[in-house]
Structure 1
Amino acid sequence: MTESIRRFRSLLFLVLLMPGLSLPAAAKPCDPEQAKWVPTRYYPAGTVVFHQGNWFESRELHEGQEPGTAFNWKRLDSVPDCGAKSDNAGGKSGARVDTDASMSETGNSERSTAQSRNPAQEPCEQPEPWLFSRSYTVGSLTRHGGKIWEAIRPTSGDLPGIAEPPHWKPVQNHCSMKDQ
């Protein structure tokens, strides 16, 4: 066989192979066992779960709110496609957080950060007032009810000092409270 015929066959093989490689992977339905709702997980927006015979999609970041009983979940009319996204439901799953460990690990470091602010070294800034419409990350500070609060887990719409499970802890001796 001549060199040109070998090249032609190789090129023909690649040309025939390319359409097969560019086809999207066939979507497969989500597995209810892998997508079970778990009350102790955080569910970011777009997460898909299976609960009590129905599929739900999370509208926003939350934890512990049961699908079908809260606005944070949208009931889906059909089984969602999970193929080629990930091994878990919808390509997203709520990250399980050990709240005791996160409290001890992040709480201590955040507490030391919040309390170690030295007014002589940097100006003291009073945190913004708490807003229902705002999302807060771990370590965020806010002002509510005459106190300074620190988020101990991601939160959106959870009132400091009220929500269960707790999303906030009071900050003792914050520099902005010393003048009051």
Structure 2
Amino acid sequence: MSYPLHHMFRRVFCLVLFLAGATTTLSAAAQPCDPEASQWIPSRYYPAGTVVFHKGDWYESRELHQGLEPGITFEWIELDSVPDCGKPEQAAEDAGKDAAMGAANGGGGKAVPEMPKAGPSERGMNDLGQCEKPDPWQFSRSYTVGSLATHGGQIWEAIRPTNGDMPGMTEPPRWKLVKEHCALEAL
């Protein structure tokens, strides 16, 4: 069975085009991760397999967790080299997870532009229209989710049950800063 010469050249040409396209796709897919886009954020949830950059090193999450610092805890594996972040479908999936997780844990995901304030905040007003300033934070008191306390001239809201954790000082965070409250004008 003999093929004419032009058929053989056509097959070789198609093979070369196929291999050129495959290597171009592979080289486009194998892109190292960007350290700035992969920074570790304490308030974000990290599922198993998530890669972050922290203090000059790359880490991979072993299991789902939040606020556990890479390089200090067992939940992270230090990587020997820069990981591959060139998988477009994975990047899109991760972006969706980050946005969903950010919304679920108080905005730890993508930044959302703030709306301009229309006037004094209604938060903290009692039934009589009077502003109730939260009590000062106390080390000996237990706080439930949603509890408010003042500390350092600011108002803080407990985002987890907490006992003795100073606002703004613990990881994973137990408190978030309150930006709108009627008592903030008086502080």
TM-score using structure 2 length = 0.43
TM-score using structure 1 length = 0.44
